[in-house]
Chains A and B, each alone.
Chain A
Amino acid sequence: MRSINPGRVVAFAVLALLSLLMLAPFLWAINTSFKTETDAGASPVTILPEGGYTWDTYVDLFQMGSIPTWMINSLIVATGVTIITLVISALAGYAFSRLDFTGRKLLLGLTVASIMVPGTIFIVPLFDEMLAFNMVDTYWGMILPQVVAPVMVFILKRFFDNIPRELEDAARVDGAGSFRIFLQIVLPLSRPIIAAVAIFTFVGAWNNFLWPYIVTNDPDLMTLPVGLETVSTGFGVVFAENMAKSVLAALPLIVVFLFFQRQIIKGIATTGLGGQ
């Protein structure tokens, strides 16, 4: 047991206060979302609603149908982006780590250099390209531009580099080709990094706003963040509704966080992932 000293008590109090400040916007949003619109818009502001708490706003949101549609769209887009990113980045990372082929140096150099290129800057030419491909207002139009992740290729390559080669030599003696070694030896040993890359790609794609916003006009195709911003369903005062929508949009990722807390924290700590 550590001894209790005044310094630690002060530190504890400061930490508790800061944490409360960090959580306050959530708590306030949840509180508002269970009020009636009349209570949410009442002045002066009170914590407890006069008319009591109610589920009505949430029930209405599910009956109107937009939120479930947008959630499914977000799920489709985020899952698509995650799977494609993982497959193409792992394959490329493995080749850069283990195989020597013509143009390897050039391609690796290009990949590393493009880590610094901020993708959001090219939305204008990218949109023009999507028009030409007829991909505006399609899932592919949302997904494909998000799968190019040079930083993931680099992070996976670096992880593969650290897997001892001796493990593969035995398999090679048994006649295993490079693809079998990749599938049966390298990938199973890379689970932690693959989990980290998958989680960050998924969260990034689930939350991405600008690109899906630009490339979709059809409300039935919108992802959750885009739908929330673009379509306002209510008339007049919709504070409780806005907060209920926000809570619903935040919930899936908070559940992801609770499940994958260790991987997320470790992923950030060891790779600096997610800083975009």
Chain B
Amino acid sequence: MTSATLTNKGATTKAVTTRPKALRSQSGLLYVLPFFVTFVLFLLWPLIYGIWMSFTDRDLAAGAEPELVGFANYAEALTDPMVWTTFGNTVLFTVMTTIPLVVLALAAALLVNMGLPGQWVWRMAFFVPYLLASTVVSLFWEWLYNPELGLINSVLGVFGIEGRSWLQDPDFAMAAIAVATTWWTLGFNFLLYLAALQNIPSTVYEAASIDGAGRWRQLFSITLPLLRNITMLILVLQVLASLKVFDQIFQMTAGGPDDSTRSILMYVYDTGFTNYRLGYASAISYIFFAIILILSLLQLRFARRSDQS
């Protein structure tokens, strides 16, 4: 998460000016030891072990010792149509969630920031779904999407619109999951935007008012340009979070119908834990990891460049 360095500009500059001179003491090693023991055991080692595993035919079901197979797993992954299908689904989900999760969060934050009465209620309404476990979100939405007994189709029926089996329809299942996901995680981006809005000094708006700029003019020439950095940050966090989607799809559709909602991480899970092909599953993970890493580095570079201009 790059958020820590980007959100709190005041704190970072202060950190640079009053940067403490560290005390020379080898006891520091003792302080970092507990963290690094867990770090090595549960992050670094799985990462390295996974690389090794991706070059073997490690199989949970087979009793035999795993054998090195060179790049066979990687070659298989690149020609495996399911890898491409699930990768495409994951990208689709990322686009379907990132856009509303940025636009709606911004709209909600702008509205709440107008200072209308009922602040506490607005904040709670937008943020509370974010606190739910994925299982709860899935149970809520499976019930709402229920074709005959669900609230959504009933309400649509009142307006004379015929609903459908949202989660069982290959054309709509992914969109239905994206809507549920937007509802679930909107509150996080909303709070980031709200905090950024409240950091804009009111003097900026006062000056604009004196110059005769109206509300809409102020929004487009002051507020939105000042929100560019936080929008970049939210975009980065959102894309990375959406690419890793697993829980809600696994729970609501299990990847179906016809694999139309199967995400790449779900395919890794299926390959590893349903088909027991740990070696092959690791190879798919690492291809995916490489893509995420390249994306993060690109975004980081892009953010830095736009910072300078």
Contact = CB atoms under 8 A, between A and B. Distances in A.
B120 to A, nearest CB: 8
A104 B22 contact: yes
The winner among A44, A92, A271, A272 for most chain B CB atoms within 10 A is A272
Q: Is the interface of A mostly helix, strand, loop or mixed?
A: helix
B241 A107 contact: no
Interface in B4-53: 4, 6-8, 11-12, 14-15, 18-29, 31-32, 34-36, 38-39, 41-47, 49-50, 53
A122 B285 contact: yes
A120 interface: yes
Count chain B CB atoms within 10 A of each CB in A121, A155, A214, A270 and give the residue with the most: A121
B115 interface: yes
Main SS at interface, chain B: helix
Which of A20, A99, A145, A161 has most B Cβ within 10 Å?
A: A99
A259 to B, nearest CB: 12
A101 interface: yes
Contact of A254 (B14, B114, B128): B128
A107 B144 CA distance: 48
A15 B111 contact: yes
A162 interface: yes
A225 B112 contact: no
A265 B135 contact: no
Nearest to B47: A122
A9 B281 CA distance: 55
Given A242-B139, A249-B136, A268-B188, A147 B38 contact: yes
A80 interface: no
Most buried by B among A147, A162, A261: A162
A95 B138 CA distance: 42
Contacts of A94: 31
Contacts of B136: 225, 228, 246, 249-250
11 contacts: A91-B35, A97-B22, A101-B28, A121-B289, A122-B47, A122-B50, A144-B38, A150-B43, A210-B247, A257-B131, A273-B3
